[in-house]
Amino acid sequence: MFGDKSSSPSSFSSTFVLAIVPSSSGRGLGGHGLAFTLSPSKQFPGAEAGHYMGIFNSENDESPSNHIFAVEFDTVNGHNDRADSDGNHVGVNLNSMYSNVSRSAYRFIGNTDQTEDMVLESGDPIQAWIEYDGKFVNVTISPLNISKPSKPLISNPIDLTHIVQTTMYAGFSASTGQKTSSHYILGWSFSTNGTAPMLDISKLPTAPAREKDGSSYDRRVIALIAALSTVTVLLLGILIYFTLYKRNVGSESLEDWELDCPHRFRYKDLHAATKGFKQSEIIGVGGFAVVYKGVLPTTGTEVAVKKITQTQSSIHGLKEFVAEIESLGRLRHKNLVYLQGWCKRKNDLLLIYDYIPNGSLYSLLFDQRQAFVLSWEQRFNIIKGIADGLLYLHEEWELVVVHRDVKSSNVLIDADMNARLGDFGLARLYDHGTDWHTTNVVGTIGYIAPELARNGKASTSSDVFAYGYCSSKSFRGESRSIRGTSSWWIG
């Protein structure tokens, strides 16, 4: 957010006009409230209504991985007696429904210390200002017809360094519970560069009045109004998103040839699947690639996403490379990890594989944190499986696939302890019966066949050499001496 990854969150400023119209008359009868949010996603998965305001749920409340900043306008007494005791309050929340700081709703009169109480759910429009300068957050409220008080209601130091991520969405969330209100946002401006633009108050819509007791509106009409107001807020949110963050995660510029690739994934989905390529989702790091675990938002399936950071020059020839990946996506064998697809974004290439639960053969053999030791039978079954997979690649499929990076860390072990050869990131395709081309020598020290190092020709034979080295490691009793030699890449 707010610029490039390296910069820390600098500042933002927002002002908006809200109106909370309870369904029944009298203070304290409506619920539950409205919140301004900064969040890493447009969705709040699993969010609950009521006190959670559609942002958190009982599981993730207080979790540091939420990365959510919220300013709540709460109209119901807080939960669990821990905080938020006044039902009519404004609070600043980090990752949790428990406010870091909260004040009952009032405004300072002019420049004095005198205050005037305000009722959030009066149904009258209230203007709010939220300003963050990198150190302090100020929250100010006043009735719409009274200009901004010079003293904020809340002025508190907060650190958003661990909250704000590269891309954040600004928006609103509101919820009802047993008590209900209609929550409206009548106008909104937001800026990450200086003070948010003033709102032209004369152009704001008015919130629909509360139904008169005994009126002919039934609950369905109220529900419709509430739904429409949510849609309005969403539209506003999307608008802001497009104007502010278009150049970030949103846009995907595609070249013509990319359009008819059935295995192309949308970057947006991968970004969501890996929670924004979050550190905590990393399941492997090698050479110039990082592997994330992800759950695809569209289907809910678990995948492994390998993010290869390339330089511009190595992207050259990407079209051919992608054509090969499209072919590799058709490989199907019980001892191969299925390559589901790919995605290109700027200098990054992303490859999407099936997620295999038990990790790699390398980690099963050499990671001292592993609780159990593979039996000889299991080891034998695993190397037979790799051989089956390689045979399929070399001889049984329509093209000859030279894997070029057979090694224990590229052999994954599935739930049934069968080997699945993975990582076709370096694979090359040949027609049956053609000569091997000279390529850059890629692979891992120890696994590279002597003739490959000499003539640069990757072939089925050099794969078999690597397979032999991999198998010998699987059967070596004393493995510790090999640690540390295995993740060497040359390229």
- 41 class by beta-carbon count within 10 Å (0-12 exposed, 13-18 middle, 19+ buried): middle
CB atoms within 10 A of CB 278: 14
Of 153 and 222, CB closest to ligand NAG:
153
* The binder of ligand NAG chosen from 61, 72, 121, 131 (CB under 6 A): 131
Helix (H, G, I), strand (E, B) or coil at 42: coil
CA distance 22 to 352: 48
Cis peptide before 32 (omega within 30 of 0): yes
| Least distance (Å) between residue 135 CB and ligand NAG | 8
* 152 touching ligand NAG, by CB under 6 A: yes
* The binder of ligand NAG chosen from 57, 138, 189, 363 (CB under 6 A): 138
Of 13 and 327, CB closest to ligand NAG:
13
Bridge partners (DSSP) of residue 352 are 305, 341
* The binder of ligand NAG chosen from 136, 321, 380, 488 (CB under 6 A): 136
Site string for ligand NAG, 398-437 (x = CB under 6 A): ----------------------------------------
Q: Which of 74, 84, 405, 423 is catalytic?
A: 405
CA distance 244 to 250: 10
Total residues interacting with ligand NAG, rule: CB under 6 A: 9
Of 151 and 384, CB closest to ligand NAG:
151
* Stretch of 147-155, 339-347, 348-356, 427-435 lying at the interface with ligand NAG (CB under 6 A): 147-155
Structural contact between residues 452 and 445, judged by C-beta atoms closer than 8 angstroms: no
414 is catalytic: no
* Stretch of 129-137, 269-277, 373-381, 454-462 lying at the interface with ligand NAG (CB under 6 A): 129-137
| Least distance (Å) between residue 148 CB and ligand NAG | 11
Of 193 and 298, CB closest to ligand NAG:
193
Q: Please name the residue that has the structure tokens 């704000």.
A: 164
* 108 touching ligand NAG, by CB under 6 A: no
In angstroms, what CA-CA distances link 378 with 158, 199, 365?
A: 54, 69, 12
Q: Which of residues 156-195 bind ligand NAG (CB under 6 A)?
A: 193-194
Site string for ligand NAG, 435-474 (x = CB under 6 A): ----------------------------------------
**CA dihedral sign, ordered 443, 445, 449, 450:** positive
| Least distance (Å) between residue 162 CB and ligand NAG | 19
- Helix (H) / strand (E) element for 101: namely strand 101-104
* 148 touching ligand NAG, by CB under 6 A: no
| Least distance (Å) between residue 134 CB and ligand NAG | 8
The span from the first CA to the last CA of the chain, in angstroms, equals 34
CA distance 258 to 254: 6
CA distance 488 to 232: 54
Bridge partners (DSSP) of residue 457 are 438
CA distance 166 to 161: 11
| Least distance (Å) between residue 64 CB and ligand NAG | 24
**CA dihedral sign, ordered 33, 37, 43, 48:** negative
Torsion from C-alpha of 6, 8, 12, 18, nearest 10 degrees? 100
Structural contact between residues 179 and 167, judged by C-beta atoms closer than 8 angstroms: no
* The binder of ligand NAG chosen from 43, 155, 279, 438 (CB under 6 A): 155
The verdict on whether residue 307 carries a ligand-binding annotation is yes
Binding-site residue ranges for ATP = 307
Binding-site residue ranges = 307
**Active site residue ranges:** 405
Residues that bind ligand NAG (CB under 6 A): 131, 133, 136, 138, 151-152, 155, 193-194
